[in-house]
Amino acid sequence: MSPIPRPPIHPPVRRPSQLPGSNTPVVLALGSNLGDREATLRAALDHLQAAGVHVTTTSGFAASVAVKPNGPDPSAPGYLNAVALAHTDLSPRDLLDAIHTIEADLGRVRLEHWGDRTIDIDIVAYGTRVVAEPDLEIPHSRAAERDFVLAPWLEVDPDAELVGHGRVDALLAALRAPGAAE
């Protein structure tokens, strides 16, 4: 009698949530107020995909007034903004490094805090993680105060919640309430 051959051994199949990095959901805010703003936003989304950030949904593009340290500045070039929902296996630090590379590749020059820029990409949320480092704060420290972040986010995720702050729809309603600070 001949021996029964052993079946081939395969590694166990794992879902993305079981893999290192766990394919973490992220929320990214994108803005541009110099050059061809729409083309720059589209290029940034392409660069994110190439960097291992798998964009699943993008809001429509929305115009907003530039915000400077002293508040809204209608004399500055206006922004075009969007929010992207994505998944990545990159760590928060590696994601920030990838974003900085993309911004540089698309012509961003960091000369002035809150200055005009070809592209700005912020990590609004990284799963439910909270990160507090000198150059990396997640969730983004001002996301709860920014209509141009909350409105597009709500467009693509009506049940969105900002870790530590609550539901995005409630945050946006509070910002838009009569008498709310700008």
Rounded CA-CA distance 88/55 in Å is 9
How does DSSP classify residue 80? Answer: E
How does DSSP classify residue 27? Answer: E
Identified catalytic residue from 6, 36, 89, 122 = 122
- 42 noted as active-site residue: no
Angle (nearest 5°) at CA 77 between 75 and 81: 130
Q: Report the 10 Å Cβ neighbour count for 114.
A: 13
Q: Report the 10 Å Cβ neighbour count for 24.
A: 20
- 110 noted as active-site residue: no
Identified catalytic residue from 37, 46, 97, 108 = 108
Q: What token pair was written down for 118?
A: 């070809």
Side chain identity, residue 70: N
- β-bridge partners, 58: 84
Identified catalytic residue from 117, 129, 135, 169 = 117
- 117 noted as active-site residue: yes
Identified catalytic residue from 36, 97, 116, 120 = 120
- 89 noted as active-site residue: no
Single out the residue of 65, 68, 58 nearest to residue 152, CA to CA. Answer: 58
Rounded CA-CA distance 114/120 in Å is 10
Asked, as a colleague might, if the bond just before 8 is cis with ω within 30 of 0, I would say no
Supply the residues annotated as catalytic. 108, 117, 120, 122
